[in-house]
Amino acid sequence: MPAMFAQLQTFMFWWLVPAYATQFIQKAIYFLFFKHPPQPNHRRFQQHARLIYISVVLGYLVYSTVQIERSIDPSYYNYLQVPLDATPAQIKSSYRSLSLQLHPDKVHDPELRAQYEAVYLSIRNGYEVLKEPLTRTAYDKFGDLVKTCTHCKTLRDYTVASLASFYYFYVVTAFVLLVMMVLGKGEYGKYWRFVGLFALGVLEYQTIVSPAGQEPLGWLFTWRTPHQKLVLFHQLYISLCIAVSQIGPLLAPVNMPPSQDKEVEILTNQVLELEKLTNMELKEVGSYLQTVLEPYKDHPAEAGVLRRKMEKLMVDSAILETNSDYRSAYEAASKRFRGPGS
């Protein structure tokens, strides 16, 4: 359950942060660098929002990669301060040296002694695991399973015991992808996400069955054990899937059939033509109002009365056009006012 909660938390964070960050950054850029920023319904505003959103997602993906890599606990190799390909003699020599330097009996401060005891315990456990070829190989491939699997006596036992976590990850991942699809966040590239999940499974299988030191992608994150790399790839896969689903439609929009393309083109031209006509009408109305109000420019009181009457007339006209009940009542009242012979 903790793994499922962590992945759901990552998904929710990815879902919410980019949109809010984009709005904040766009407002800040417009405030600092634009004297007359474009309006939200303008094409330039949408282009800017698109570029900022893509940058935010890519930046957050890089940040997530660094954070995920740093969040992985140190390995026994780190505690013993030896490389992953260290010989048994190097491991033994480093263990003896560190044991003398960091032995808790040399520290009298209670708080500092507790820290030394924790480090010394990790060094001793690391040496106990890495000094034996079987447990060292099992640790490289399966991590802490080497400590928890008390009944494992062979590499095959460790492999079988690791299948539970192997299947658990893929079940949880499939559940997260399903949640994305239900929420409408996973439609773009869903085929490639499942291909990627399959490829990740093949990579994990190859890592498990390959001889020690010959695991695939050994040139990546050379300071991490094969098991730590798999943990890293698991978490990066979720982040990458979410990132692709968010910026994929912006970087490579889905092509529409030619008939729909033509309809969109016609509709776009009609909207542009309507916008031109509207702007022309607004200019004519502005000129007309300026001409009407010209005689009242030196009489603000009369101009105010005229403005209020014009506003009331505009409101009444809008109501008459949109409200059929009001229009019927208005016409009936007009007939009664004009009389039966009108």
Location of structure tokens 């009936």: 332
Q: Does residue 284 sit in the same domain as residue 247?
A: no
Residue 39 lies in a domain: yes
166 and 231 part of one domain: yes
Count CB-CB contacts under 10 A for residue 233: 18
Same domain assignment for residues 229 and 164: yes
**169 and 241 together in one domain:** yes
Tokens 């007939």 sit on residue: 335
For residue range 235-283, list pLDDT tens digits in order: 888 788 878 878 877 876 655 455 555 665 676 666 666 666 666 666 6
* pLDDT tens per residue, range 100-129: 888 888 777 777 888 888 888 999 999 999
User: Is 199 part of any domain?
Assistant: yes
Assess if residue 274 is contained within a domain: yes
44 and 141 in a single domain? The answer is yes
Taking the CA atoms of residue 80, residue 81, residue 86 and residue 88 in that order, the dihedral angle to the nearest 10 degrees is: -30
- Region label for 339, one of left (φ > 0), alpha (ψ between -120 and 50) or beta (otherwise): left
Residue 313 has pLDDT above 90, yes or no: no
- CA–CA dist 323, 135 (Å, integer): 82
Do residues 64 and 191 both lie within one domain?
yes
Say how many domains are in the chain: 2
Q: 2-6, 53-57, 114-118, 220-224: lowest mean pLDDT where?
A: 2-6
In a domain, 32, yes or no: yes
- Is pTM beyond 0.75 here? no
Got the DSSP string for 293-310? HGGGTT-HHHHHHHHHHH
pLDDT of residue 256: 47
Assess if residue 104 is contained within a domain: no
Q: Say how far apart CA 150 and CA 121 lie, in whole Å.
A: 19
Structural domain ending residue among the three candidates 253, 288, 322: 253
What is the distance of C-alpha 168 from the center of its chain?
Answer: 23
Asked if residue 287 and residue 239 are part of one domain, the reply reads no
Residue range(s) defining the domain that contains residue 216: 1-71+132-253
Identify whether residues 310 and 194 lie together within a single domain.
no
